[in-house]
Amino acid sequence: MVDDTEKFKNLSETLGEAHVKTEPKITAQYTVDNVVPRAVVFPKNTDQISEVVKFANRENLAIVTRGSGTKMAMGNPPRKLDLVVCTSRMNHMLDVDTSNLTMTVEAGVKFRDIQARLATQEDRCYLPLGDLEAEGDEIICSDRSHSGCFVPIDPPYADKATIGGIIATNSTGPRRLLYNLPRDCIIGIRVVAPNGDVLGSGGKTVKNVSGYDVSKLMVGSMGTLGILCETTLRMLPLPEKMETLLVSFANFSDASAFAGRIFETSLLPAAVEIMNGEAFGHLSLDDKPDFGSNGYVAAIALEAFEPAVDRMRIEMLNMAKEAGAGANAVFEEEDHRSFWLAMSNLSATLDKKFSGFIKAKLNYPLSMWKNIIASGESIFSEANLDYIVQAHAGNGICFTGLLVDNNDTSATDKAVEAMNQLLAYCQEVDGNLVIQSAPADVKSNLRIWGKIGFDFVVMKRLKDQLDPKGIMSPGRFVEGL
Amino acid sequence: MDKQKLIASLNEIVGPDNVLSSEMDLMLYSYDASLDKAKPDVVVLPDSTEEVSKIMALAYKEKIPILGRGSGTNLTGGTVPIKGGIVVHFSRMNRILEIDYANRTATVQPGVITLDLQTEVLKKGFVYQPDPASQKVSTIGGNVSENSGGPHCLKYGVTSNHVQGLEVVLNDGTVINTGGKARDNAGYDITALVVGSEGTVGLVTKAILKLERAPESVKTLLAIFDAIEDGANTVSAIVAEGIIPATLEMMDNTVMRAVEETIKVGYPLDAACVLIIELDGMPEGMDDNASKIVEICRQNHVRDVRLAKDEAERNVLWAGRKGAFGSVGQVRPSYLCCDGTVPRTKLPEVLNQVIEIGKKYNLPIGNVFHAGDGNLHPLIMFDERDEDERSRVLKASTEILKACADAGGTISGEHGVGMEKLKETAFIFNECDLEFERQIKRAFDPDDIINPGKMIPANS
Amino acid sequence: MNIVQLKKLSYDEVAKCNKCGFCLPSCPTYLVKKAESYSARGRNAITRFAIENKLELNEDTERAIFTCLGCGACTAVCLSSVQTKDLIFQNRECQVDAGFYPKVAKRLVKILEESHNISDEDQEDRAEWQELIKELPEDAFEKETADVVFFVGCVASFFPMVQKIPANMAKIMQSAGVDFTILGGEEWCCGFPLIGAGMPEKLAAMKDHNLKKVAKVGAKTIVFTCPSCYHTWHHFYKSDAKLMHASQLILELIKDKKIEFNKNIKGVATYHDPCDLGRNTGVYEEPREIIKAIPGLEFVELPMNRKFSVCCGGGGNVEMTDPDLSAQVAQTKLASIKAVGADTVLTACQQCVRTMETRAKRSKTDLVVKDLTQLVIEAME
Ligand SMILES: Cc1cc2nc3c(=O)[nH]c(=O)nc-3n(C[C@H](O)[C@H](O)[C@H](O)COP(=O)(O)OP(=O)(O)OC[C@H]3O[C@@H](n4cnc5c(N)ncnc54)[C@H](O)[C@@H]3O)c2cc1C
Ligand code: SF4
Ligand code: SF4
């Protein structure tokens, strides 16, 4: 193995020796799909990132950016990897302007800290503050703006993910039904471009059409067009009341009929999540009601004014009954928050339990959701696989995970085959299936990004133009961009 | 390419009836709602994506500048062909192709008039949210290209938040589809890049738009103030209180008077300004929220808060608001609208500066704007025919935009940069920012033939 | 008129057009042709460019300027209240001086000057429509003196399709006991077509003649079934007599119980506001009140009504200068009528009746077109 210490000396001078790691013992902890980087760097601000990228340009080094590492399993294995740039030290909230309902933070700030910062005097927060656990020597933000606001994003790994990672992967969750997507709440960014330039777009105004919308271009771009360093987000006041309705159904057909009824009204639930018993069973939550493991569970998030929540509860429980519901449960406030945190951590939980866990995100035109889930159910049960299904009803998004053990090669083969079949079905209905995580050695048998649209020509042109040397996350994104 | 040959080639593509090249026709496509003018070489009115693709391929082969035009109502010179060439007028491509309620989408051609689509879907209880004041005449193609906003964008977001997919003809005539009926497509968000690109990256030939269920109930308040500051402070206070109404619009005395000349709304003509505040959604809790707003208004010395008692009263309040720009023609023949936007907390301060700038240049300025978004629209009124006045107007406008930028804001909230504000981009962008944008532009259009000279200042 | 005079007359008004485009979707000719030169904004730009010497008047501007229907829909939606129709008619005067105007307009003037009617017919045949009324003694409606003069207008006098309008109006007045007369061969064209043709100065002779004849009869009231005659008298004549549109007189007669309705009329009807009656003169409600007084009839409004009514295609002499365009506008009108589910369209203008009925026949649209006078007679019988 080459000793890279000398090579990275320059960088050490800029960042400080402690923040440039080349020891194999450490770099091994930062592999991306089993590829070990030559160095891991920990810049402390945007200017330092700019220096790192300029250095990489000179030396022709391939960079992968990393936040908390919750979603490093996304994407194709890197074509080349030299530097992992960790944003963990970029954890400052630069401007929390609750009167303007905007905040500007560095990319390494954790989502949970943002929410904690916005909690009320009484510690009412969008996340269940009591359930949050810090790792190692970290602390959870204890500074309070007392504003009673929140940033309306509902990502997976809500207690660990950094805001940079959430944006770069366009992470969304069930409550996008009411609050929309990260792309809708980002109003400004500062980015280090592939050539090392620091550039900004947008700002603290909620509306802006001066120039191309670089902020939105960066959302979901997986770090292939630059490194997101700072972002300005808009926030909303915390809902007056938060409540969850859990309703069990004997099968998907009843559960989906229930969801269908809801969407015929003008009620405004924050989420209508339909999951199978398997998924519900794996939620790591205290005092989980026992709904049995065979049927389906509908979880409705209600976040609104108190009288509106009351009305929705009454009307929806009635609709549920008409749709043939079994048991139900209602979670209020902190229990509500704990429930949705557990939802956001479902894949993390399963990842730990099943070494060969394969998770996919499906998208399709809204009206196709019943067909998609029916088709998934039949493909998976035919292959005799254990699986979870979790549909964000009303959004045209569904997650599914195959619970396999990596050592069980026959199950793994069947899982791969099943995912490929489901992808084919999604394509048939103008949708797609994207693998969100899979063991590195299985990835080569999967089409990680699924079907690529006609606009790939433009994506390619953009990538070639903005990153001509191909140093930003080479190979990981669609069609190996 | 020789002009006659160009015309002959276009005749072949769209038929001679749809190629305009007389001196008169060229003059009539030399303007939009801004103050700029420049003549194209030829105007075409295509009827299909295939025709647009062929026109584009021709422009590409011959390196002829080309730009798309909807209703020509943009306020920044977006459809002014400063390098000549071909203007593609989308007036014939005005079909609503499909309204798919099950998937909550509408697929339309670019020439569809915004309000026509809205009227159509409302029949089934659905809405397409973006509501620029020009919705009666503006086209979806124009809205998409300018990323237009309107009063209700405070709560629901601008055009960009409501476009799910596009069909775009690229520089060489290739037709691509971005996004689609399914959300979250893999890859870069090309849709988001095309929206707001001011027609500089390609020609949009189809749009898939998001529909939502119309809100169950609506409450519209008119708050009347005796001082502008009080109105502005109220806006900041409402937002700071964490209330995001559906709309929060401000209109000052000058504009109210002008509006009242044409539309009899019954605005209080002795007041300094009014706020039009609308709440929508489920009715539960709405009264409480309205009382909170009224309380904030009181704390800020409101004279009176009136509630629109029925749909008719609400409509007339909005007709006045939406007619505001045009009505300033009752005061002076021309106006320039500065679209500067500021963080909402800076509203009172910047509004004061605007008034001072008006005084300094001795120009009447009317204010009617999306206050809740911090999106100002000072309307500087003048007579275009008066050279001296015109030059003062341009100076005042630049100064206003500078004030917005200095307050942490930007030079355009919804009308775009166009050619009118190229110089002012320097207030918010540095050379790196601009270079990145140029790279994006080059990725789409390396020969700089698509709406050249707009949005990004040339390399200095 | 030359450019210098045009500048004096029109520059300030046309400068008020700030090119906002709000008039585009209201301009019927733009909706059909979809090119800027056929829009109000485009036509104003032509006037402005011409005044500023940036554009010469020629055949192209002739086509743009002479295809305006004069319907005024643009001004109804214009927030600067730009008087586009008037500006266009002023521009037409300039076009005429520059020699760029439709040949039919030239012919029309000649005919008017020689025959005093637009059809180049014998003036003596003006009252031919009386033959439609059974058992009527010849010249029954031509008196020496009367309280009311019924000014029939050229179109209703000479076009067989609409001669029933004056016949019905006469019957109504007769049965209500109104003391009225017609001018017969002494009625001259009111001169309205000359305004549209860009030659308003030629109107004087006709005005003088008509005023003199009315004075001789000693009438205190003049009633018109033609909105354009009515509009012309209103805006260009100076008469001491009270001017009334037929719908206004009929409504008065209904209110005074001078006429009564005995018959139920079936069906769903809508009402088309003639531009010159509604928007251009301000009569919106009387026709609607009459319709509502008719027993049995179901009434629906068009989405664009009253001030925002869309022209039938028959205005501004366009029927002569560009018949295809006129027909296409009419077709759009018919579609909007069918869209509200009406089987009958009522109006109060012989030109609108003619345009819509002709179009409905040609396009085999299943629609009944009726003037109000006909409806009233039917309900009276
Ligand atoms: C009185 C008035 C009020 C207004 N109010 C508002 C408001 O409240 N909010 C707001 O946001 N704007 C407002 N505007 C500005 C303007 O109406 C909007 O920008 C509108 O979206 C423009 O639509 P249009 O069809 O007229 O587009 P155009 O002006 O014709 O074109 C605008 C831009 O889009 C491009 N373009 C058009 N069609 C295509 C296509 N198919 N493919 C590619 N490029 C295309 C053009 O090249 C140009 O750059 C107002 C304007 C006026 C005059
Ligand atoms: S005529 Fe009126 S509505 Fe039409 S463009 Fe001019 S100002 Fe606007
Ligand atoms: S008068 Fe009628 S036809 Fe003429 S420009 Fe105005 S709207 Fe168009």
Nearest ligand to the CA atom of B136: 1
ipTM: 0.95
Cα C19 to averaged position of ligand 2 atoms, centre (Å): 5
Per-residue pLDDT reduced to its tens digit, B420-444: 999 999 999 999 999 999 999 999 9
Q: What is the pLDDT of residue B263?
A: 87
For the cut 60, the answer to whether the pLDDT of residue A1 exceeds it is: no
CB B245 within 8 A of CB B278: yes
Least Cα separation, residue A36 to chain B (angstroms): 25
Residues 6+ apart with CB under 8 A from C307: C76, C278, C279, C284
Q: In what order do the strands lie in the sheet with C368-371?
A: C298-300, C268-271, C344-347, C368-371
Q: How remote is the CA of residue C92 from the centroid of ligand 2, in Å?
A: 19
C12 CA distance to ligand 3 middle (Å): 19
d(CA C28, CA C25): 8
Domain co-membership, B102 together with B57: no
A296: part of which helix (H) or strand (E)?
A: strand A296-304
Name the domain count of chain B. 4
Q: Let me know whether B121 and B205 are in one domain.
A: yes
CA dihedral B351, B353, B355, B360 (to 10 degrees): -170
Q: Give the one of B100, B193, B242 whose C-beta lies nearest to A217's C-beta.
A: B193
Interatomic CA distance for residues B61 and B255, integer angstroms? 49
pLDDT over 60 (residue B256): yes
Ligand 2 centre to CA of B329 (Å) is: 9
Residue located nearest, by CA, to atom 8 of ligand 3: C27
- Residue B393 — pLDDT band, cuts 50, 70, 90? very high
pLDDT at A2 over 60: no
**Residues in a beta bridge with C204:** none
Q: Residue B460: what pLDDT?
A: 67
Kindly report the average pLDDT of chain C as a whole number: 95
List the one residue out of A249, A196, A205 whose CA is nearest residue A227: A196
Which secondary structure element, helix H or strand E, spans residue C324, and what is its range?
helix C323-339
Q: What are phi and psi of B365, to 5 degrees?
A: -125, 130
Identify whether residues B381 and B296 lie together within a single domain: no
pTM value is 0.96
Residues B225 and B321 in one domain: yes
| Chain B residues inside the 8 Å CB shell of A203 | 408-410, 428
pLDDT (0 to 100) of residue B459: 83
pLDDT score of A134 more than 90: no
Provide the chain A residues 419-478 that lie in CB contact (below 8 A) with chain B. 430-432, 434, 449-459, 461-462, 464-466, 477-478
Look at residue B451 and tell me if it is in a domain.
no
Q: In terms of Cα–Cα distance, which of A381, A75, B282 is closest to A400?
A: A381
Q: Which domains does chain C have, with CATH numbers?
A: 3-101 (1.10.1060.10), 104-254 (3.40.50), 261-380 (3.40.50.11810)
Interface test with B, best of A195, A455, A477, A481 (most B CBs within 10 A): A455
| DSSP sequence for A407-437 | T-HHHHHHHHHHHHHHHHHHHHTT-EEEEEE
Average pLDDT over residues A54-67: 96
Q: What percent of chain C has pLDDT over 90?
A: 90
Asked if C82 contacts C75 with a C-beta cutoff of 8 angstroms, the reply is yes
Residue B435 lies in a domain: no
C158's CB contacts (< 8 A; 6+ apart) are C117, C118, C119, C121, C125, C126, C128
Tally of CA atoms within 13 A in the half-sphere of C253 that contains its CB: 27
Taking contacts as CB-CB distances below 8 angstroms, the residues of chain B near A361 are 184
Mean pLDDT value of segment C287-312: 96
B281: confidence class by pLDDT, cuts 50, 70, 90: very high
DSSP codes joined into one string, B236-294: HHHHHTT---SEEEEEEHHHHHHHHHHS-----TTSSEEEEEEEEE-STTHHHHHHHHH
- Asked if the structure places residue B456 within a domain, the reply is no
pLDDT in tens, A204-263: 998 888 899 999 999 999 999 999 999 999 999 999 999 999 999 999 999 999 999 999
Using alpha carbons, select from C72, C65, C30 the residue that is nearest to residue C44. Answer: C65
pLDDT at site C141: 87
* B326:C60 CB<8 A: no
Whether residue B107 is found in the same domain as residue B205: yes
Burial of B147 (0-12, 13-18, 19+ CB in 10 A): buried
Section B302-307 average pLDDT: 96
Mutate to test the interface with A, among B131, B167, B189 (most CBs of A within 10 A): B189
Q: Please state the rounded mean pLDDT for residues A356-366.
A: 97
Residue B345 sits in a domain whose CATH number is 3.30.70.2740
- Number of neighbours of residue A122 by Cβ within 10 angstroms: 9
Residue C325 in contact with ligand 3 by CB distance below 6 A: no
B126 inside 8 A of chain A by CB: no
CATH class of domain segment(s) A1-238+452-481: alpha beta
Atom of ligand 1 nearest to the CA of B204: 42
Mutate to test the interface with B, among A166, A180, A207 (most CBs of B within 10 A): A207
Question: Where does the pLDDT of residue A3 fall: very low under 50, low under 70, confident under 90, or very high at 90 and above?
Answer: low
Instruction: Tell me the CA–centroid distance for residue C41 and ligand 2, in Å.
Output: 6
The domain that holds B48 is classified in CATH as: 3.30.43.10
pLDDT in tens, C240-257: 899 999 999 999 999 999
What does the DSSP 8-state code read for residue B36? -
Query: Average pLDDT in the C97-118 region?
Result: 92
Atom number of ligand 3 nearest to Cα C72: 1
Q: Is pLDDT of C6 > 80?
A: yes
CB contact under 8 A, B384 and C58: no
CB-closest option in A199, A268, A430 to B182: A430
Beta pairing partners, C180: C148
Q: CB B92: neighbour CB atoms within 10 A?
A: 19
Which of C44, C71, C83, C86 for mutating ligand 2's site (highest number of atoms within 8 Å of CB)?
A: C44
Q: Read off the pLDDT of residues C13-27 as tens digits, 9 standing for 90 and up.
A: 999 999 999 999 999
Would B84 be classed as within a structural domain?
yes
* Fold (topology level) of A346-445: Alpha-Beta Plaits (3.30.70)
CA Rg value for chain B: 22
Average pLDDT of the residues of chain B = 96
Do B200 and B234 belong together in one domain? no
Fold equal for A1-238+452-481 and A346-445: no
Q: State whether C35 and B89 contact (CB < 8 Å).
A: yes
Percent of chain B whose predicted confidence (pLDDT) is above 70: 100
Buried b (16+ CB within 10 A) or exposed e, C136-174: eeeeebeeeebebbbbbbbbbbbbeebbbbbbbbbbbbe
Q: Are residues B306 and B338 in the same domain?
A: no
Fold for the domain defined by A241-343: Alpha-Beta Plaits (3.30.70)
Q: Is A306 exposed, middle or buried (0-12, 13-18, 19+ CB in 10 A)?
A: middle
C255 touches chain B (CB under 8 A): no
Is the separation of the CB atoms in C309 and C302 below 8 Å? yes
Chain A residues with CB inside 8 Å of B175's CB?
Answer: 454
Tokens of residue B319, six digits: 């007709």
**Is residue B74 in contact with ligand 1, taking CB distance under 6 Å?**
yes
Chain B residues at the C interface, defined by Cβ less than 8 Å, are: 20, 22-25, 27-29, 31-33, 43, 45, 71-73, 89, 91-92, 94, 113, 116, 134, 136-137, 259, 261-263, 323-330, 333-335, 383-385
Q: Is residue B201 part of a domain?
A: yes
Position B454 in a domain = no
For residue B139, which residues of chain C lie inside 8 Å, CB to CB?
A: none
- With a 6 Å cutoff on the Cβ, whether C278 touches ligand 3 is no
Q: In terms of residue numbers, what domain contains B103? A: 96-213
* C16 CB within 8 Å of a chain B CB: yes
Average pLDDT score over residue span B376-390: 95
CB C326 within 8 A of CB C355: yes
Would you say the CB of residue C17 lies under 6 angstroms from ligand 2?
A: yes
Residue C41 near residue C82 (C-beta atoms within 8 A): no
Where is the domain boundary, B361, B381, B406?
Answer: B406
- A287 pLDDT band, cuts 50/70/90, is confident
From the CB coordinates, do chains C and A have 3 or more pairs under 8 Å?
A: no
DSSP states of C190-253 as a string?
-SHHHHHTT-GGGHHHHHHHHHHHHHHHT-SEEEES-HHHHHHHHHH---SSEEEEHHHHHHHH
Residue B303 has a pLDDT of: 97
A139 pLDDT band (50/70/90 cuts)?
Answer: confident
Chain C hits for B334, Cβ within 8 Å: 15, 18
Q: C37, B385: Cβ pair inside 8 Å?
A: no
Burial class, A203, CB count within 10 angstroms (exposed 0-12 / middle 13-18 / buried 19+):
buried
Q: Are strands B302-307 and B247-252 parallel, antiparallel or unpaired?
A: unpaired
Which helix (H) or strand (E) segment holds residue C330: the answer is helix C323-339
Chains that touch A (3 or more CB pairs under 8 A): B
For residue B347, is pLDDT > 70? yes
Q: Which of B137, B329, B335 sits opposite C21 (nearest CB)?
A: B137
Q: Of B259, B293, B326, which closes a domain?
A: B326
B418 part of a folded domain: no
Any idea where the domains of chain A sit in the sequence? 1-238+452-481, 241-343, 346-445
- Summarised one tens digit per residue, pLDDT across range B102-157 is 999 999 999 999 999 999 999 999 999 999 999 999 999 999 999 999 999 999 99
- One-letter amino acid of A91: N
* Cβ-defined contact of C22 to B137 (cutoff 8 Å): yes
Q: Which strands form A93-97's sheet, in the order they lie side by side? A: A93-97, A102-106, A227-234, A186-192, A198-202
pLDDT tens-digit readout, A202-219: 999 988 888 999 999 999
Residues of C in contact with B261 (CB under 8 A): 81
Whether the per-residue pLDDT at A390 is higher than 60: the answer is yes
Candidates A74, A118, A210, A372: best to mutate against B (most CBs of B within 10 A) is A210
Q: Classify A192 as helix, strand or coil.
A: strand
| Amino acid A332: pLDDT | 96
Check whether C95 has a pLDDT greater than 80: yes
More confident residue, A8 or B29: B29
- Listed residue (A214, A218, A201) closest to A166, CA to CA: A218
Which residues on B lie below 8 Å from C308 (Cβ)?
none
Provide the pLDDT for residue C305: 96
pLDDT in tens, C204-227: 999 999 999 999 999 999 999 999
**pLDDT confidence of residue B309:** 92
Q: Do A466 and B214 touch (CB under 8 A)?
A: no
Specify whether B229 is located in the same domain as B321: yes
Q: Does residue B458 form part of some domain? A: no
Pick from B45, B67, B69, B129 the residue to mutate for probing ligand 1's pocket: most ligand atoms within 8 Å of its CB.
B69
